[in-house]
């Protein structure tokens, strides 16, 4: 998933593709941040978001289940704590009034996963 | 004839559909025989079932069953237009009309049948035909060009086919003359016949019943039919279709045994009275019956072949159910179509406005479908036939089978998928449901034509084509079917249906289930639901598919505030040795864990980092402990009071029984968590009546209570059985638990499950104790499978470096723990920081 974002200055090498389970997530450390990476292998897509669930401030989104919803098949992640779901594209909360989570562009090259950071 | 050394010769007499099928099946199995075929007709075997399509634009070539070079390619010697005229059984030799004489090791008679032509004065006149071969059709076609009024003698299945041919040939006025008081006397009853007659009349076919033809009148050419009742029908063309006559003259001449009314007598091996001579198809008389359909003929071919190859397959009669479209009208009969009360109960639906007649015969206990008749609308035929053949238990309102479910809850299609794997879909080619589903799943077949190529299903009589279509569509799940109680937007099935399908298709992974039965990418609702079903069906190691599990099952521990996990080793029945207590204490100290006794008499260790979980478990397991499955939707704990071993009131040893039960059902995944308790006397210190299943000692044995729970809506368990011994108690528990696992909706505790159950406790009692559904043995076997495949998930992880690797917080810094985890002091321990 490469998104055209002009502000990206730097692709951070996060991990190897096989570090992230198929159709699941893993957490990577970037400086003092925690970023959740999702290997949506069913759709051959990759996503990255913040690891913190805004609902109860828990560092757990990477351990959530991913899936999609609606006719548009919006990709989403569900927080393992209380199953709040967030769009993997926009970061918007899909089933509650929580604030949106941050999403990051991802690119995959030669078995390596890069996250676009500002 | 070039036969190799030791090569045996099989001669097939007759090159019809069944004779051809024999050759096809043989060369597929082995090419070690020298195979020779004699045919009377001038062309290669063709599809006689769809003969009338010859008038719909199909050519003789279209109808041919094989490509031109098929016989050559398979090294089969084919003699056309050359009937065998003599068989010498003693010398094992045949002589053909063209003077070919050959020896055989095995002889297969597939001479088929001819039209039965009654001995009526005038039968030899010009304009009188039979309807049997392509040559017959060509002659009919030539004559029809100058004919206006035609009739078919015989109102059976073939007669009506022939009448259709006359309509297709453009005969202005077409009649059907039948001796019996109704049409298709072997398939349908008089009510059905009346309706069919009305329908056929609308389509331009005049039906005359109870007509006994006395003379075919005219000069050189036919001019009319004269009947016994002094009436007359003016026609200039007549097709005789008064039945078939087995072609047994050659066999008779050779001295083989034949029936008094025709047919070459065969045993269940398809052997005639001479052991080296077989007879198959419409010429064969088995158990005083001629099987005038293609499917049993194919089955006979298979049997004969198998016998020649020294197999043990035998023929024991055949289902003669039929479905066909006659001049645009569906007509079908299946199973025991004519059985009447009091031997059965009959449900009849008749709609003369739309021209629909349906009759089903059900067993007196209302459980099984025995047979029936469908006219005007035979869409339900395949499903009904399957219901008969597979002895599927009928729904409570069997009339729904012919009327459709009323009240807006259609469940078409689901029926097809619920057929057992072994359901025979295509009886002509003996193709099972599993083969068709496999073709879709494994070969990627997406159409009926593809299935025909891949499995040959639907290439015989074609009657199963609608069923194949439903199976393909159902399997591909291309069109969603509305079924109430669906799991989520990705699966149009209830949990119970999904479980059945997953077992049926032997689905082992979530992705396979989604591809086959669902749509989209799945979600946090269906993933753990399917994971639970997969566990209930196969009991594979859940961590193999970790990303479809709820977080607790993914990491085999309970996620707690702050993102840490808690650890619960199994302490069966609440009994623990001092040594184990010491180890738990040491582990808790080493990893800075908070410890507490749980409500279920176990010890919970809180505040473990994800990274530490494998190490913690390794130490616990070294001391002989195992997973307590506190993280799973499965049996948690069987609480016990101390019972008769120490308590002065105790009646039985409740602790030993609790331990036995906990170890029996540990690890089994269920729709929701399961809690249990065993009390040693009526004082009920283990609070067994607040559990999903609870056992209380009595003077005479045990009382078994089920479907209680604490929680937000407490509910007392209800008495299932009283004063039973330990063995019976366990037997009932086996059944009860498996029934719950199979039928409850996701995340439904036993109390809610019972509350929603039609018939409530008395129904449940009937199922568990009286085996009212006849599934008790199955339930016991299924749970036995789950018990025998038990594994401690943690020992699998601890001993597998790859699995251990999953327990890291940062994949790019595996040694580092989550730095945001924080604790606060609490009394002498720690607690998670408040959120």
From the candidates A19, A23, A89, which should be mutated to test the interface with B, based on the most B CB atoms within 10 A? A23
Please report whether residue A1 resides in a domain.
Answer: no
Q: What is the pLDDT of residue B411?
A: 41
CATH number belonging to the domain at B128-242, selected among 2.130.10.30, 3.40.50.1980, 3.50.50.60, 3.30.1330.10: 3.50.50.60
Residue B657 — φ and ψ, nearest 5°?
-65, -40
Q: With cut-offs at 50, 70 and 90, classify the pLDDT of residue A96.
A: low
Whole domain around residue A95: which residue ranges? Answer: 10-117
Of B511, B522, B812, the CB nearest to A28: B812
Q: What is the pLDDT of residue B477?
A: 64
Closest-approach residue (CA) in chain B for A29: B810
Please report whether residue A41 resides in a domain.
Answer: yes
Fold of the CATH domain B9-114+246-308 = FAD/NAD(P)-binding domain (3.50.50)
B629 neighbors B667 (Cβ within 8 angstroms): yes
Q: With cut-offs at 50, 70 and 90, classify the pLDDT of residue B412.
A: very low
Sequence-separated (6 or more) residues with CB below 8 Å from residue B700: B723
Closest-CA distance of chain B to residue A86, Å:
12
- Whole-number Å distance between alpha carbons of B72 and B78: 8
State the average pLDDT over residues B618-634.
92
Q: What is the CATH number of the domain that holds A96?
A: 2.102.10.10
- Whole-number Å distance between alpha carbons of B172 and B549: 71
Q: With cut-offs at 50, 70 and 90, classify the pLDDT of residue B485.
A: low
A14 neighbors A109 (Cβ within 8 angstroms): no
B531 interaction partners in chain A (CB closer than 8 Å) = none
Contact A78 B523 (CB under 8 A): yes
Higher pLDDT, B514 or B543: B514
User: Considering only B456-470, B500-514, B722-736, which range has the smallest mean pLDDT?
Assistant: B456-470
State the average pLDDT over residues B252-273.
94
Q: With cut-offs at 50, 70 and 90, classify the pLDDT of residue B704.
A: very high
Closest-CA distance of chain B to residue A6, Å:
26
Higher pLDDT, B821 or B447: B821
User: Considering only A28-42, B326-340, B697-711, which range has the smallest mean pLDDT?
Assistant: B326-340
Is the per-residue pLDDT at B448 higher than 90? no
Rg (CA), chain B: 36
Please report whether residue A53 resides in a domain.
Answer: yes
User: Considering only B361-370, B386-395, B430-439, which range has the smallest mean pLDDT?
Assistant: B386-395
Of chain B, the percentage scoring pLDDT greater than 70 comes to 97
Contact B62/A at CB under 8 A: no
Q: What is the pLDDT of residue B405?
A: 53
Task: Report ipTM (2 d.p.).
Answer: 0.89
Contact B672/A at CB under 8 A: no
Contact B511/A at CB under 8 A: yes
User: Considering only B457-461, B484-488, B694-698, which range has the smallest mean pLDDT?
Assistant: B484-488
Sequence-separated (6 or more) residues with CB below 8 Å from residue B466: B379, B381, B382
Is the per-residue pLDDT at A55 higher than 90? no
Is the per-residue pLDDT at B711 higher than 70? yes
User: Considering only B5-9, B163-167, B345-349, B664-668, which range has the smallest mean pLDDT?
Assistant: B5-9
- Whole-number Å distance between alpha carbons of A15 and A114: 7
Contact B546/A at CB under 8 A: yes
DSSP E strands, B366-435: 369-375, 424-426, 431-432
Contact B546 A28 (CB under 8 A): no
Q: What is the pLDDT of residue B677?
A: 96
State the average pLDDT over residues B590-605.
93
* Common-topology check for domains B9-114+246-308 and B128-242: yes
- The angle formed by the CA atoms of residues B317, B319 and B322, to the nearest 5 degrees, is 140
Please report whether residue A4 resides in a domain.
Answer: no
B148-174, pLDDT tens digit by residue?
Answer: 999 999 998 888 888 888 888 888 899
Mean pLDDT estimate for chain B = 88
B226-249, pLDDT tens digit by residue?
Answer: 999 999 999 999 999 988 899 999
Of A29, A83, A85, the CB nearest to B812: A29
Contact A40/B at CB under 8 A: yes
Tokens of B339: 């059985």
B816 interaction partners in chain A (CB closer than 8 Å) = 29
**How many pairs of residues across A and B have Cβ atoms under 8 Å apart?**
93
Contact A23 B562 (CB under 8 A): no
Of chain A, the percentage scoring pLDDT greater than 70 comes to 92
Q: What is the pLDDT of residue B815?
A: 86
Q: What residue spans define the domains of chain B? A: 9-114+246-308, 128-242
Q: With cut-offs at 50, 70 and 90, classify the pLDDT of residue B3.
A: low
Please report whether residue A84 resides in a domain.
Answer: yes
State the average pLDDT over residues B597-614.
93
- Whole-number Å distance between alpha carbons of B39 and B6: 26
From the candidates A65, A74, A78, A95, which should be mutated to test the interface with B, based on the most B CB atoms within 10 A? A65
From the candidates A41, A63, A78, A81, which should be mutated to test the interface with B, based on the most B CB atoms within 10 A? A63
B28-48, pLDDT tens digit by residue?
Answer: 889 899 999 999 999 999 988
Helix axes B726-743, B760-768, angle to 10 degrees: 120
Contact A82/B at CB under 8 A: no
Q: What is the pLDDT of residue B398?
A: 82
- Whole-number Å distance between alpha carbons of B732 and A62: 43
B532 interaction partners in chain A (CB closer than 8 Å) = none
State the average pLDDT over residues B597-610.
93
Helices (H), B130-237: 134-144, 157-168, 190-202
Is the per-residue pLDDT at B483 higher than 50? no
Please report whether residue A88 resides in a domain.
Answer: yes
Q: With cut-offs at 50, 70 and 90, classify the pLDDT of residue B300.
A: very high
Please report whether residue A77 resides in a domain.
Answer: yes
- Whole-number Å distance between alpha carbons of A25 and B732: 43
Which B residues in the span 781-820 are in contact with A, Cβ-Cβ below 8 Å?
806, 809-813, 816, 818, 820
- Whole-number Å distance between alpha carbons of B191 and B206: 18
- Whole-number Å distance between alpha carbons of B426 and B792: 45
Is the per-residue pLDDT at B686 higher than 90? yes
Q: What total of structural domains would you count in chain A? A: 1
State the average pLDDT over residues B367-386.
87
Q: How far is CA A103 from CA A70, B63, B524, in A?
A: 20, 63, 20
Helix axes B495-504, B526-538, angle to 10 degrees: 50
Contact B743/A at CB under 8 A: no
Is the per-residue pLDDT at B141 higher than 60? yes
CB atoms within 10 A of CB B259: 16
Higher pLDDT, B252 or B313: B252
Displacement of CA B551 from its chain's centroid (Å): 36
Is the per-residue pLDDT at B4 higher than 90? no
User: Considering only B40-54, B304-318, B445-459, B672-686, which range has the smallest mean pLDDT?
Assistant: B445-459
Tokens of B396: 């409570």
């Amino acid at each position: 998933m490469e998104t055209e974002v002009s502000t990206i200055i730097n692709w951070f090498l996060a991990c190897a593709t096989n570090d992230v389970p198929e159709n699941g997530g893993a957490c990577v450390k970037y400086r003092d941040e925690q970023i959740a990476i999702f290997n949506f292998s069913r759709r051959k897509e990759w996503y990255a978001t913040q690891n913190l669930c805004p609902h109860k401030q828990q560092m757990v989104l990477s351990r959530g289940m991913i899936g999609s919803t609606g006719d548009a098949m919006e990709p989403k992640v569900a927080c393992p704590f209380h199953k709040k779901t967030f769009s993997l594209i926009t970061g918007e909360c899909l089933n509650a009034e929580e604030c949106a989570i941050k999403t990051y562009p991802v690119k995959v090259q030669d078995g390596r996963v890069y996250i676009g950071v500002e | 004839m070039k036969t190799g050394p030791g090569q045996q010769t099989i001669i097939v007499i007759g090159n019809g559909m069944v004779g051809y099928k024999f050759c096809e099946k043989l060369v597929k199995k082995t090419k070690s025989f020298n195979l020779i075929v004699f045919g009377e007709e001038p062309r290669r075997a063709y599809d006689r079932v769809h003969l009338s399509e010859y008038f719909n634009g199909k050519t003789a070539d279209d109808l041919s069953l094989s490509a031109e070079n098929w016989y050559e390619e398979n090294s089969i010697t084919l003699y056309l237009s050359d009937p065998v005229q003599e068989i010498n059984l003693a010398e094992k030799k045949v002589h053909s009309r063209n003077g070919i004489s050959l020896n055989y090791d095995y002889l297969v008679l597939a001479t088929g049948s001819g039209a039965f032509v009654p001995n009526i004065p005038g039968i030899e006149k010009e304009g009188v035909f039979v309807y049997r071969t392509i040559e017959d059709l060509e002659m009919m076609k030539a004559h029809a060009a100058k004919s206006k009024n035609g009739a078919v003698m015989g109102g059976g299945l073939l007669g009506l086919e022939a009448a259709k041919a006359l309509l297709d040939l453009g005969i202005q006025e077409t009649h059907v003359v039948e001796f019996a008081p109704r049409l298709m006397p072997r398939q349908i009853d008089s009510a059905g016949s009346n309706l069919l007659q009305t329908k056929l009349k609308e389509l331009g076919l005049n039906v005359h019943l109870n007509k006994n033809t006395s003379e075919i009148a005219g000069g050189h050419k036919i001019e009319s039919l004269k009947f016994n009742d002094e009436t007359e029908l003016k026609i200039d063309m007549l097709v005789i279709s008064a039945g078939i006559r087995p072609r047994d003259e050659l066999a008779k001449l050779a001295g083989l045994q034949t029936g008094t009314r025709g047919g070459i007598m065969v045993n269940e091996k398809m052997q005639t009275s001479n052991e080296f001579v077989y007879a198959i198809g419409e010429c064969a008389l088995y158990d005083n019956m001629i099987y005038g359909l293609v499917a049993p003929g194919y089955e006979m071919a298979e049997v004969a072949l198998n016998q020649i190859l020294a197999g043990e397959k035998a023929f024991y009669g055949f289902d003669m159910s039929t479905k066909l479209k006659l001049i645009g009208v569906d007509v079908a009969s299946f199973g025991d179509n004519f059985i009447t009360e009091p031997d059965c109960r009959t449900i009849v639906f008749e709609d003369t406005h739309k021209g629909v007649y349906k009759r089903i015969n059900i067993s007196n206990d209302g459980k099984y479908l025995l047979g029936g008749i469908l006219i005007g609308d035979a869409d339900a035929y395949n499903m009904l036939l399957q219901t008969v053949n597979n002895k599927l238990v009928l729904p409570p309102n069997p009339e729904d089978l012919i009327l459709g479910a009323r009240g807006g809850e259609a469940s078409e299609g689901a029926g097809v998928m619920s057929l057992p794997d072994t359901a025979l879909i295509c009886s002509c080619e003996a193709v099972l449901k599993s083969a068709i589903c496999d073709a879709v799943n494994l070969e990627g077949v997406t159409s009926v034509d593809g299935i025909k190529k891949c499995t040959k299903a639907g290439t015989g009589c074609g009657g199963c084509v609608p069923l194949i279509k439903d199976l393909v569509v159902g399997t591909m799940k291309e069109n969603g079917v509305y079924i109430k109680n669906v799991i989520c937007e990705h699966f149009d099935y209830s949990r119970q249906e999904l479980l059945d399908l997953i077992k049926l298709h032997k689905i082992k992974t979530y992705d396979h289930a989604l591809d086959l039965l669902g749509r989209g990418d799945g979600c946090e609702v269906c993933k753990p639901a399917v994971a639970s079903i997969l566990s209930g069906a196969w009991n594979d190691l859940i961590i193999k598919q970790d990303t479809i599990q709820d977080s607790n099952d993914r990491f085999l521990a309970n996620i707690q505030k702050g993102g840490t996990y808690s650890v619960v080793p199994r302490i069966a029945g609440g009994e623990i040795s001092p040594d184990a207590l010491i180890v738990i204490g040491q582990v808790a100290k080493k990893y800075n864990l908070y410890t507490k006794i749980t409500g279920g008499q176990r010890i919970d260790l809180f505040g473990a980092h994800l990274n530490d979980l494998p190490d913690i478990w390794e130490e616990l397991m070294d001391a002989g402990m195992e997973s307590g499955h506190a993280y799973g939707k499965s049996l948690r704990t069987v609480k016990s009071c101390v019972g008769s071993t120490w308590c002065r009131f105790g009646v039985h040893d409740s602790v030993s029984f609790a331990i036995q039960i906990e170890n029996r059902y540990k690890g089994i995944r269920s729709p929701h968590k399961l809690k249990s308790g065993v009390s040693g006397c009526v004082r009920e210190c283990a609070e067994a009546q607040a559990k999903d299943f609870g056992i209380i000692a009595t003077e005479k044995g045990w009382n078994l209570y089920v479907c209680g729970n604490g929680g937000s809506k407490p509910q007392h368990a209800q008495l299932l059985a009283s004063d039973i011994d330990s063995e019976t108690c366990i037997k009932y528990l086996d059944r009860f638990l498996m029934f719950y696992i199979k039928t409850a909706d996701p995340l439904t505790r036993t109390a809610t499950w019972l509350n929603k159950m039609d018939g409530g406790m008395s129904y449940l009692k009937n199922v568990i104790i009286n085996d009212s559904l006849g599934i008790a043995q199955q339930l016991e076997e299924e749970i036995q499978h789950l018990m025998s495949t038990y594994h401690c998930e943690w020992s699998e992880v601890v001993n597998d470096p790859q699995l251990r690797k999953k327990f890291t917080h940062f994949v790019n810094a595996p040694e580092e723990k989550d730095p945001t985890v924080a604790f606060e002091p609490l009394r002498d321990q720690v607690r998670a920081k408040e959120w």
